[in-house]
Amino acid sequence: MNNFTFYNPVKILFGKGQIAGLSKEVPAGARVLMAYGGGSIKKNGVYEQVMDALKGHKVVEFGGIEPNPRYETLMQAVGLAKQEQIDYILAVGGGSVIDGVKFIAAAIPFEGGDPWKICSEKVPVTEAIPFGAVLTLPATGSEMNSGSVITREETKQKLSFGSPLTFPKFSILDPETTFSLPLRQLSNGVVDAFTHVLEQYLTYPVNAPLQDRLAESILITLKEEGPKALQNPTDYDTAANIMWCATMALNGVIRVGVPTDWATHMIGHELTALHGIDHARTLAIVLPSLLRYKRDTKREKLLQYGERVWGVTQGSDEDRLEATVQATVNFFESLDIRTRLRDYEVDKSTIQEIVQRFEERGVKNLGERADIQVADVEQILTMSL
Ligand code: NZQ
Ligand code: ZN
Domain locations in the chain?
Answer: 11-177, 183-383
Is ligand 1 within 6 A of the CB of residue 168? no
Q: Whose CA is nearest to atom 40 of ligand 1?
A: 140
**How would you class 288 by CB atoms within 10 Å of its CB: exposed for 0-12, middle for 13-18, buried for 19 or more?**
buried
- As a whole number of angstroms, the distance between CA 245 and CA 224 comes to 11
Query: What's the CATH number for 11-177?
Result: 3.40.50.1970
Please tell me if the CB atom of residue 146 comes closer than 6 angstroms to any atom of ligand 1. no
**pLDDT recorded at residue 132:** 98
**3-state per-residue secondary structure call for the chain:** CCCCCCCCCCEEEECCCHHHHHHHHCCCCCEEEEEECCCHHHHCCHHHHHHHHCCCCEEEEECCCCCCCEHHHHHHHHHHHHHCCCCEEEEEECHHHHHHHHHHHHHCCCCCCCCCHHHHCCCCCCCCCCEEEEECCCCCCHHHCCEEEEEEHHHCEEEEEECHHHCCCEEEECHHHHHHCCHHHHHHHHHHHHHHHHHHHCCCCCCCHHHHHHHHHHHHHHHHHHHHHHHCCCCHHHHHHHHHHHHHHCCCCCCCCCCCCCHHHHHHHHHHHHHCCCHHHHHHHHHHHHHHHCCCCCHHHHHHHHHHHHCCCCCCHHHHHHHHHHHHHHHHHHCCCCCCHHHHCCCHHHHHHHHHHHHHHCCCCECCCCCECHHHHHHHHHHCC
Atom of ligand 1 nearest to the CA of 39: 3
Q: Which of 36, 40, 44, 274 to mutate to test the pocket of ligand 1 (most atoms within 8 A of CB)?
A: 40
**Cβ atoms of residues 2 and 258 within 8 Å:** yes
By alpha-carbon position, which residue is closest to atom 39 of ligand 1?
68
Whole-angstrom distance, CA of residue 154 vs CA of residue 241: 39
Buried b (16+ CB within 10 A) or exposed e, 316-341: eeeebbbbbbebbbebbeebebebbb
Cβ of residue 247 lying under 6 Å from some atom of ligand 1:
no
Cα(279) to centroid of ligand 1, in Å? 9
Q: How far apart are CA 279 and CA 188, in angstroms?
A: 8
Å from CA of 15 to ligand 2 middle: 24
CB 168 within 8 A of CB 209: no
Ligand 1 atom closest to Cα of residue 196:
48
Which pLDDT score, from 0 to 100, does residue 376 have? 98
The whole-number pLDDT of residue 292 equals: 98
The pLDDT value given to residue 121: 96
- Residue 140 Cβ inside 6 Å of ligand 1? The answer reads yes
Gap from CA of 139 to ligand 2 centroid (Å) = 7
What pLDDT is attached to residue 68? 97
According to the model, what pLDDT value does residue 235 have? 98
| Whether the CB of 282 sits within 6 Å of ligand 1 | no
Q: Are strands 157-162 and 147-152 parallel, antiparallel or unpaired?
A: antiparallel
Quote the pLDDT of residue 236: 98
CA–centroid distance, residue 172 to ligand 2 (Å): 20
Using the mean position of ligand 2's atoms as its centre, give its distance from the Cα of residue 265 in Å. 6
Q: Do the beta carbons of residue 195 and residue 41 sit within 8 Å?
A: no
Q: Which amino acid is at 373?
A: Q
Query: Which numbered ligand comes closest to the C-alpha of 195?
Result: 2
- Smallest-distance ligand from the CA of 177: 1
Distance CA 305, CA 324 (A): 8
Question: Does the beta carbon of 181 sit less than 6 angstroms from any atom of ligand 1?
Answer: yes
The residue to mutate among 279, 287, 337, having the most atoms of ligand 1 within 8 angstroms of its beta carbon, is 279
Is residue 166 lining ligand 1, measured as CB closer than 6 Å?
no
137 lines ligand 1 (CB under 6 A): yes
Ligand 1 atom closest to the Cα of residue 94 is: 25
Over the range 81-118, which residues count as b (16 or more CB within 10 Å of their CB) and which as e? Answer: beeeebbbbbbbbbbbbbbbbbbbbbbbebeeeebbeb
CATH no., domain 183-383: 1.20.1090.10
Q: Do domains 11-177 and 183-383 have the same CATH topology?
A: no
- 385 residues of the chain, pLDDT tens digit each: 999 999 999 999 999 999 999 999 999 999 999 999 999 999 999 999 999 999 999 999 999 999 999 999 999 999 999 999 999 999 999 999 999 999 999 999 999 999 999 999 999 999 999 999 999 999 999 999 999 999 999 999 999 999 999 999 999 999 999 999 999 999 999 999 999 999 999 999 999 999 999 999 999 999 999 999 999 999 999 999 999 999 999 999 999 999 999 999 999 999 999 999 999 999 999 999 999 999 999 999 999 999 999 999 999 999 999 999 999 999 999 999 999 999 999 999 999 999 999 999 999 999 999 999 999 999 999 999 9
356 Cα to the center of ligand 2, angstroms: 23
Distance (angstroms) between ligand 1 centre and the Cα of 282 equals 14
Predicted TM-score (pTM) of this structure:
0.98
Asked if this assembly's ipTM is beyond 0.95, the reply is: yes
Between CA 254 and CA 374 the distance in angstroms is 28
CA angle, corner 67, sides to 66 and 72, nearest 5? 45
Identify the pLDDT of residue 359: 97
Distance CA 243, CA 114 (A): 35
Other CB atoms closer than 10 Å to residue 7's CB: what's the count?
8
Residue nearest to atom 45 of ligand 1 (CA): 142
